[in-house]
Chain A
């Protein structure tokens, strides 16, 4: 047994390239190693992200002492003492020859080519070509450009047959839809019988193409490399939080490119992340504050909107419930929690989709020694995908798992209620009835606990055997829904028992990795946006005086003791409500106000009809939202125009604990204000001075409030982010050892309410997709990657099981 390809442990050697001594990791490909000595070897077909080199374009030929024939630098591994020439006469002749050959049939249309200015073929022709072509015969000419998919245009004249795009389709995303047809000089890139190339990751081929053959139909002719600027940030459209570079022109996002981060996205993007930027600039965006007035939402001044909101909240104070989701940053979450708890004296705040967990379990699940890194998904001996469908829940992880299986002999197991796109790659796939994730996990925990050899028959037993046999490094990639709803606590305990049985704790390369329901789910929890749980997973005060001295001090100073006083009085000793209980409270009148931060209950939360009643009865509904969805249009009383992630400043936390930084890439639309600013302003009006005057200050407050973030700075986070578990402050984490006994076996038949049809792709079920013209086509119900009509099973909600 054992890992067939361990994490590479590079051992450094010295070689010579064009007379320079260069140190490089042994067996690195020459094309990369030479760069360490500032020597560039031109390449077209070589792209390390695509796996094994194919040596097709021959652009990278170099001379190596002792080898008579020229060798391809893209496929030759450096050895100690190797002597390499990239500028010898032989090499130069070969380079000029290859460029000349490539240009034979390449059109001279650079002036009208989208790639112009950022085109490897242009650059290499200029840098390594002979400067003239001796080819006087007519070039090929074909109709161009042609549609390859609703998103991508293809120009076959320009194609230099580098194989990158087809290799991506065949070996990376493994959809095998994009292929080469015909042979020799007739070869061309196409799909089967005129079908469009539509797959969750298709957009990556545009970025891979070294010429202007594959272009984004959304970006074509919108800008030139010399009149745009790049802005790095992080995509918050799903929990995968891929690193992105936005191409910005005149304060508008023109396109989104991958900003390779092997610890996060491995250099790829899904099509939602790549194309949904269009929604930043559509008319459906809310760009001014709206207030309900005569049954209608009307645009008003900020002053008026803040006035209304503050008044509404003051009326409800402790009878307020708040929910944060979506792209909400940690800072916003922290501020919201303070607003609700300290200014309103209400304990009712949540950021989970369905049902709270006891503090102990949250702490145990977040235990630093139990957390797997994203890259562990690639190098582990085995990965169990438990109650999740990566391509929907965090698409980019789907590619990572395929890579692990393909390249590193990773053993993949999938346990889910619905068929998974990964089944074909899995060594074992098991199915259980919808909503029985916790029950299955408990069964698996029991099977593992039974010990080697003693596993029971049946799915759980088989799975247990497979995991045991695989090796030490085992990762469980689990979906939040496993710990949601009636059986949430049981699910959480099962997870912890599984971890225990497999001895994950502290094992490098092993651990748990959660896919939260919301993009910044982990961050919001750590910031204390949970019922009864404060910043850094502390025991939150319920709003009673003294529980949050600072806050109350501030509020009394601000001289609006009335509201806080009242809040404190009512808030005292109230049982904190989770999202569901908030809905119930609103529906039966125990709560009167609802505060929504980047959350649309009717779209994103279970129990649709309960929420209908809740929103209908709530006297005050305040929402921060970028889009005016039907639910808000009908029920919201105040709508604050919210930032999209490209406008945001702040921090979020990747599911594996990597604190990442959002940087504003474009100016805020219309009169949009930063969320942190709006919340702080509201707090002030309600008598709580949060002492936050800038985004940076908001972050500083966060780093102070969460003990295991202590000492963190925006500079330290930088462009790549830092996993807080890897910092000294991690020792401040409130470890917990909950009692893991308790109900296992058969559990109340209850899920978090949403069932999915086979083929339904919730990845596309987002307003950003709806409002991006380029992605509209995805909304038609069709096979494969397209969303199917969503069915919500009428599951009875059994409430929070408690400890």
Chain B
């Protein structure tokens, strides 16, 4: 069953004409015929869970917004910067009106009068397409004052980011949208209570919002029949890395992971085996080949010790040293740490240095234990979860591939051909004795 990708390659689907011809904006009419409360009920019964990473039930989140006449905001999170994730990109590029329609419907349910799409600056093409689609939608009365003559009004602006992963974190996004550095905020207060410009704010991912029209079309309980009980509906999964047919695939939640990686994406190249895989972007703890039969849904992934995250499957085959993977992940988070809170800023940086020493064969025997405990010290102690987003996968790699790390260090040590005590060397360097 395809809801989002159905006919997505139809030429001109990004134009209003084609989109309407295919029944576009009928859901909006249907929604406006209901009361916001009825609409919210539909969203709740659909069981739709956020597709951005946290997997929080969308209907519930909408219901958190206070009622009343104050300025309320809807922000669409189109920052899509979780490594391995590229589903929102394809949706915005090929069917921008699904997103716009979803935003207008959601804003009606949540009573938000101003909406923003925060799209990562790198997505130039997609932002241009959204802007064009938005002009059409405004002209046709789908966006703006009194949508389709109803009492509901909503303005919509496409806001382009400038390259910072942390601006995908909802509160970092809000600061960025307010024109500041994208530092996450303390929670509570949560955005639903005090978000953009201090006003109540609904933040949802592109895919989440783009799904809303289908829910209205099908009806909440019809939609809920798709997928499995705790993870309803379909999900666009981005599969990349060592697979033969990387790309976006829409599946009902709950199918076996093996089906995704082998059935749809064709598995690793000939003669190679799956070494490990990230089920939900680089922030999710890695799983191994033996986990391939875990059903692909929120709860099963959690039980397997990882998470569905943004629904980005990254496959690593046995040709790649685990250290390379760990290094990429750690360096990414060090680069993207906003620097506001101590454990993330210093922990990511420290982790990279330890990995570099292992790679150079300079690691002390304790280094793996230290590295593991540093991850533990990061998890749960940060202001936002970017820190955890590095610590969890790195921790899982140390746990699952410890011997390989040790062997790597040993091999490198042999190549260096001396057994100098790296620790003492490090200490010397720390005291400035070591020249560059």
Contacts and interface: CB of A to CB of B under 8 A. Distances in A.
A58 B342 contact: yes
A55 B348 contact: no
A70 B380 CA distance: 7
B186 A53 contact: yes
B350 to A, nearest CB: 6
Contact of B336 (A54, A56, A184): A184
Contact of B429 (A56, A61, A137, A160): A137
Contacts of A134: 366, 370
Contacts of A560: none
A58 B380 CA distance: 11
Given A139-B430, A185-B334, A56 B341 contact: yes
Contacts of A101: 342-343, 345-347, 350, 377
Contact of A136 (B348, B377, B430): B430
A98 interface: yes
Interface in A166-214: 180, 182-187
Interface string B326-354: 00000000111111111101111110011
Interface string A34-70: 0000000000000000000111111101000000011
A138 interface: yes
Secondary structure type dominating chain A contacts: loop
Instruction: Report the interface size class on chain B.
Output: 35 or more
A432 interface: no
Interface in B151-190: 164, 181, 186
A777 interface: no
Nearest to A104: B346
A69 B186 CA distance: 14
A241 to B, nearest CB: 36
Nearest to B164: A183
A69 B380 contact: yes
Given A97-B377, A136-B423, A138-B434, A186 B339 contact: yes
B346 A105 contact: yes
Interface in B184-222: 186
Interface in A729-770: none
B53 to A, nearest CB: 18
Nearest to B366: A134
A131 to B, nearest CB: 16
Interface of B is mostly: helix
Nearest to A75: B186
A221 interface: no
A185 B430 contact: no
Size bin of chain A's contact surface: 35 or more
B168 to A, nearest CB: 15
Contact of B381 (A53, A61, A182): A61
B432 interface: yes
B5 interface: no
A652 B360 CA distance: 70
Contacts of B89: none
Given A61-B381, A136-B430, A138-B434, A184 B335 contact: yes
Contacts of A135: 350
Contact of A183 (B337, B347, B377, B434): B337
B295 interface: no
22 contacts: A55-B341, A57-B341, A69-B380, A70-B380, A100-B377, A101-B342, A101-B343, A102-B342, A136-B364, A136-B426, A137-B429, A137-B430, A138-B426, A138-B434, A161-B339, A183-B181, A183-B337, A184-B349, A185-B337, A185-B345, A185-B346, A186-B339
Interface of A: 53-59, 61, 69-70, 72, 75, 93-94, 97-98, 100-102, 104-105, 134-139, 141, 160-161, 163, 180, 182-187
The 9 residue pairs across chains A and B that have the minimum distance between CB atoms: A136-B426, A97-B377, A101-B346, A187-B339, A184-B337, A138-B429, A184-B339, A55-B186, A185-B349
Interface of B: 164, 181, 186, 334-343, 345-350, 353-354, 357, 364, 366, 370, 377, 380-383, 423, 426-427, 429-430, 432, 434
Given A57-B342, A58-B343, A59-B342, 13 more contacts: A56-B340, A58-B383, A70-B381, A93-B377, A98-B343, A136-B430, A138-B426, A141-B432, A161-B339, A163-B340, A184-B337, A185-B349, A187-B345
